[in-house]
Amino acid sequence: MKPNVALAISIACAAVAVGIVSLDLAFTLTSALEVREEGEWATIQSDPYSETSSRPRSFVGPGCAVNDLRIRIDNNRPIDANVDVLVRYTSTRGAATTILEETWNLEPFAERNFEFKVPDSAFPAATSADPNPQVSVEVFLAAQYPFGTCVVRGP
């Protein structure tokens, strides 16, 4: 094989590989767990999300000082996307309570979000053993794959 032909093939293969990676990253589902701080939404955790991913990604967010939360999903792809969304909270001394369990159908380049709070009733009374009761909020995208969690401090 002529060296120049080999070089041309090499450059072409590398360019197409970089192009595939760039396009895939650009056209993807992104999701974010956000908290409202001083009137603005700040991201606790965000992730590129693959609908066909078989490897769940689990993120633990930092503790939230306030209780205004939002899960936001952006479909940056030119095709429809269906995402199973499950949001639940669990106190340190109680069973899990589901806030939202739906399948979201997102049109191409559409965004959808869900704002929620953990009700005061979810927080158990403070005791000497547990003076600062907390509630863990978990967000799942697609089956049991945990996307993000955060801990909400009591009122």
Partner 1 sequence: MTSERTLQGALTFLGFAISILAIGYFAGSYIPDISPWSQLASLALLSLAFAYLGVFLKETTIGQPFFEGPRLRWLRPPVVLYLLALIGAIWAEIVFFGIDDMPRALKILISLILGIGLIVVVARRKGGAKEASPDSPARRV
Interface with partner 1, residue 78, by CB under 8 A? no
Smaller CB separation from partner 1, 50 or 98: 50
10 binds partner 1 (CB under 8 A): yes
Q: Judge whether 117 and 102 are in contact, CB under 8 Å.
A: no
Residue 113: name the closest of 52, 36, 28 by CA. 36
Q: Confirm or reject binding of residue 1 to partner 1 (CB under 8 A).
A: yes
25 near partner 1 (CB under 8 A): yes
Residue closer to partner 1, measured from CB, 19 or 94: 19
Stretch that binds partner 1, among 21-29, 84-92, 130-138, 147-155 (CB under 8 A): 21-29
If one asks whether residue 17 binds partner 1 (CB under 8 A), the answer comes out as yes
d(Cα 149, Cα 89) in Å, to the nearest integer?
Answer: 9
If binding is defined by CB under 8 A, does position 9 make contact with partner 1? yes
Q: How far is the CB of 154 from partner 1 (least distance, A)?
A: 36
Q: Going by C-beta distance under 8 Å and a sequence separation of 6 or more, which residues neighbour residue 153?
A: 63, 64, 65, 132, 134
Residue 145 CB coordination number (10 Å):
16
Site string for partner 1, 34-73 (x = CB under 8 A): --------------x-x-xxxx------------------
Q: Check: CB of residue 75 under 8 Å from CB of residue 109.
A: yes
Pairing verdict, β 146-153 and 134-141 = antiparallel
Three-state secondary structure along 87-104? EEEEECCCCEEEEEEEEE
Judged by the rule CB under 8 A, the positions of this chain that interact with partner 1 are 1, 3-4, 6-7, 9-11, 13-14, 16-18, 20-21, 24-25, 28, 48, 50, 52-55
